[in-house]
């Protein structure tokens, strides 16, 4: 079986790494399976791309489509045009896409129109929020996917509601967590640890990059000023996403507790999360990682496509207002850490399950 693996943005790199390892393991056991790795170039900054390839030992892509940034339509269209040529020149039996970025949807459409089977890893999750580009990517991708790999039984149920044949839905667990388990003994402190005098369990990690939080400069500033005040002496490490950085520009914010740093590599970032007091974020992936590491997570969104991080894990859905964050964070400070567990099959073996299943197709 010849598989083309698609990867394009930071969360994709983290998800594709263990899938490649699982394929290589099968190859060593003598299975007839080969892969071609295609990087669409959706994320191309060193901090968001190369570092992840290096740290997670992802092989150099066989092809880089180098689409770079653009509006939603420009980027999606550019990926489709380039990926169509890529597939024509390098035919395969199956295209495997992960997650919910523009590359996921664009490459799924192109593959399907060339009558190539599509596998979607992280299928079926839904926020119900059609203002999120990712939700549209999820729905479109799942409407043409052949093999669905899900992270939860709820995601599988969502697909059943859409009329997907149960024989094509496979609840396998979470590849992002495969990467976490594969790397937990490699994580290390960032160079600023001593300079900032960070102490284990005594700082907060903050990440914000969703349009709903960062696209309006004034509300972003209000949020940051509110978090700075709420932190009350605890340092807040803020690896700033290029999108957020572009909005803030040269604005001088005079914050006492928030410390801006570059987007972190995976191994430093996991170290920072694992040793933190709490995390404030609008990322979906981070709410999964904090769940597994048992770190309290406050999600600055009105909804989540990963409800198990709330019902089983450590995630608290805050909404986007600073007032709500102050209230919920205050309650957490009073009541202490909430009990949490790890969702079913988030055991580090999802990628192996996926490849075992694909080899039977």
Least Å from the CB of residue 282 to ligand UDP: 7
> Which residue number, 286 or 292, has a Cβ lying nearer to ligand UDP?
286
Active site annotation includes 241: no
Residue with Cβ nearer ligand UDP (239 or 296): 239
Encoded tokens for 84: 């169509």
Which residue from 184, 214, 38, 13 is spatially nearest to 99, judged by alpha carbons?
A: 13
Burial 117-148 (b: 16+ CB within 10 A, else e): bbbbbbbbbbbeeeebbbbbbbebbbeebbbb
Under 8 Å between Cβ of 170 and 148: yes
Euclidean distance between CA atoms 47 and 64, whole angstroms: 17
Smaller CB separation from ligand UDP, 266 or 277: 266
Per-residue tokens: 336: 């202490």
Min dist CB 95 to ligand UDP, Å, is 20
- 158 DSSP β-pair partners: none
Q: For residue 206, what are the β-bridge partners?
A: 280
**Residue 10 binds ligand UDP (CB under 6 A):** yes
Please list every residue from 117 through 176 that binds ligand UDP, using CB under 6 A.
176
176, 147 Cβ separation under 8 angstroms: no
Cα–Cα distance measured from residue 223 to residue 203, given in angstroms and rounded to the nearest whole number: 18
**Least CB distance to ligand UDP at residue 34 (A):** 27
Contact between 41 and ligand UDP (CB under 6 A)? no
Q: Does 15 bind ligand UDP (CB under 6 A)?
A: no
Q: Minimum Å distance from CB 309 to ligand UDP?
A: 11
The length of the chain in residues reads 361
For residues 44 and 324, give the distance between their C-alpha atoms in angstroms, rounded to a whole number. 35
- Please state the closest distance from residue 267 (CB atom) to ligand UDP, in A: 8
Q: Between 33 and 350, whose beta carbon lies closer to ligand UDP?
A: 350
Please give the residues from 257 up to 296 whose contact with ligand UDP meets the rule CB under 6 A: 263-264, 266, 269, 283-286, 289
Bridge partner residues of 297 (DSSP)? 279, 315
CB of 300 to ligand UDP, least distance (A): 11
Q: Phi and psi at residue 172, in whole multiples of 5°?
A: -120, -10
The whole-angstrom separation of Cα 101 and Cα 97 is 10
Among 156, 207, 244, 299, binds ligand UDP (CB under 6 A): 207
Determine the size of the site formed for ligand UDP (CB under 6 A): 15
- What strands, in cross-sheet order, belong to the sheet with 278-281? 258-261, 235-239, 203-207, 278-281, 297-299, 315-317
Query: Interface with ligand UDP by CB under 6 A: which range of 9-17, 82-90, 196-204, 290-298?
Result: 9-17
Q: Which of the residues 39, 43, 120, 209 is marked catalytic?
A: 209
**Joined tokens for residue 201:** 């369990």
Cβ proximity to ligand UDP: between 128 and 330 the closer is 128
Q: Which of 3, 5, 14, 169 binds ligand UDP (CB under 6 A)?
A: 14
CB nearer to ligand UDP: give 22 or 132: 132
Three-state DSSP class for 66? coil
Hey, which residues are catalytic here? 209
Site residues (vs ligand UDP, CB under 6 A): 10-11, 14, 176, 207, 239, 263-264, 266, 269, 283-286, 289
């Amino acid at each position: 079986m010849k598989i083309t693996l698609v990867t394009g943005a930071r969360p994709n790199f983290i998800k594709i790494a263990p899938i490649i390892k699982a394929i290589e393991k099968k190859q060593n056991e003598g299975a007839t399976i080969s892969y071609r790795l295609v990087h669409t170039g959706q994320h191309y900054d060193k901090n968001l791309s190369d570092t992840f390839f290096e740290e997670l030992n992802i092989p150099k892509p066989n092809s880089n489509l180098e689409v770079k940034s653009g509006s939603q339509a420009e980027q999606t269209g550019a990926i489709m045009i380039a990926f169509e040529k890529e597939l024509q020149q390098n035919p395969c039996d199956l295209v495997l896409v992960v997650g919910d970025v523009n590359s996921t949807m664009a490459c799924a459409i192109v593959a399907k129109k060339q009558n190539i089977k599509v596998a979607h890893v992280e299928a079926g999750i839904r926020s119900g929020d059609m203002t999120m580009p990712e939700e549209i990517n999820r729905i479109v991708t799942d409407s043409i996917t052949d093999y669905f790999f899900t992270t939860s039984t709820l995601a599988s149920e969502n697909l059943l509601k859409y009329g997907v044949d149960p024989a094509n839905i496979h609840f396998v667990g979470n590849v992002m967590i495969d990467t976490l388990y594969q790397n937990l003994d490699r994580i290390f402190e960032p160079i600023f640890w001593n300079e900032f005098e960070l102490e284990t369990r005594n700082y907060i990690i903050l990440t914000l990059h969703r349009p709903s939080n960062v696209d309006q400069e004034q509300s972003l500033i209000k949020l940051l000023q509110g978090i700075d005040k709420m932190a009350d002496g605890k340092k807040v490490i803020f690896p700033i996403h290029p999108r957020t950085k572009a909005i803030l520009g040269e604005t001088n914010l005079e914050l006492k507790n928030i410390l801006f740093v570059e987007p972190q590599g995976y191994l430093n970032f996991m170290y920072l999360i694992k040793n933190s007091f709490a995390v404030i974020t609008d990322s979906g992936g981070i709410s999964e990682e904090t769940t597994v590491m048992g770190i309290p997570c406050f999600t600055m969104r009105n909804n989540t496509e990963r409800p198990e991080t709330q019902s089983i894990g450590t995630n608290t859905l805050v909404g986007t207002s600073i007032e709500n964050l102050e209230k919920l964070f205050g309650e957490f400070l009073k009541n202490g850490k909430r009990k949490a567990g790890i969702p079913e099959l988030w055991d580090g073996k999802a990628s192996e399950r996926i490849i075992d299943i694909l080899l039977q197709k």
